[in-house]
Structure 1
Amino acid sequence: MTGFHLPVRVYIEDTDAGGIVYYVNYLKFMERARSEWLRQHGFTQRSLFEAGIQLVVHRLECRYAKPARLDDCLDVDTLKPRSWPMALAAVLADPLASAQLQDAQPQARRGCQ
């Protein structure tokens, strides 16, 4: 299985009053990429639920390095999984945030045209 790229624009709903991405939204962006990666490989969250399969994150550690801001275009990428569930990376050019999930490693950096 290959990786997946999801461009994400930062909208006002993603930010605090200062126009900086609210910390939990990095994780939302990463979860969207994971869901789209699954969709690319023929699985939807709904079909997995109906089959009795739930991809549950039960442990998470996150480090924030730099903020993303209103109107930034972020690149959220999945990495080729070495084991299930999978490894993820949310990237925005320079590292902004990284999260450690059990069996997954999202990272964020600035990016996109």
Structure 2
Amino acid sequence: MSAFTFPVRVYIEDTDAGGIVYYVNYLKYMERARSEWLRQHGLTQQGLFDTGIQLVVHRLECRYAKPARLDDELDVSVEVVDRSACRLSFHQQVTARGEPLCDASVDIACVESTRLRPVRWPPALATVLRE
């Protein structure tokens, strides 16, 4: 499956008093990019919720290389690197002008929303993952 890229601009609300992006906001950018990756494939978080499914972060490993700053234009990439019956592993990267700022490995689990127990991918998402 090819990589997907989502553009993000850094706003004042994303930064500390020095105009540098607060570290947790990179995770928010990555979450948005994964949601847009789903949308590109005809799925939405709300649509999954409506069927009793939630996608939750199971594991995250992140490495910060350089800071993003106020008004920077960032690219946030999403690439599926592994999958199982109810788990997806993504490699995600935040870059500015092609320069890596933050790298992450993110494992997402598919769970039934009321019991929060792992379940197999719903048919529509399973089809996307097979392509």
Cα distance in structure 2, aligned partners of 1:69 and 1:88: 23
Partner of 1:111: none
Q: Secondary structure at the match of 1:78?
A: strand
Deviation at 1:86, TM superposition (A): 4.4
SS in 2 for 1:37: helix
Whole-Å separation in 2 of the counterparts to 1:3 and 1:41: 13
- Aligned CA-pair RMSD: 1.7
Please state whether the residue corresponding to 1:7 is helix, strand or coil: strand
CA displacement at 1:101 relative to structure 2: 2.2
Alignment of 1:46-65 (within 5 A): 46-65=46-65
SS in 1 for 2:54: coil
Tell me the equivalent position of 1:22. 22
Provide Cα deviations, 1:77-100, integer angstroms capped at 9, x if missing partner: 112454252424233122212223
* Rg (Cα) greater in structure: 2
Distance 1:29 1:101, change over 3 A: same
User: How far apart, in 1, do the equivalents of 2:49 and 2:59 lie?
Assistant: 20
Q: Is the 8 A contact 2:10 2:72 kept in 1?
A: yes
For the pair 1:32 / 2:6, whether they are aligned, the reply is: no
Give the alignment's TM-score, normalised by structure 1: 0.80
Give the alignment's TM-score, normalised by structure 2: 0.70
Q: Identity percentage over the alignment? A: 67
Q: Which runs of 5+ in 2 are unaligned?
A: 109-131
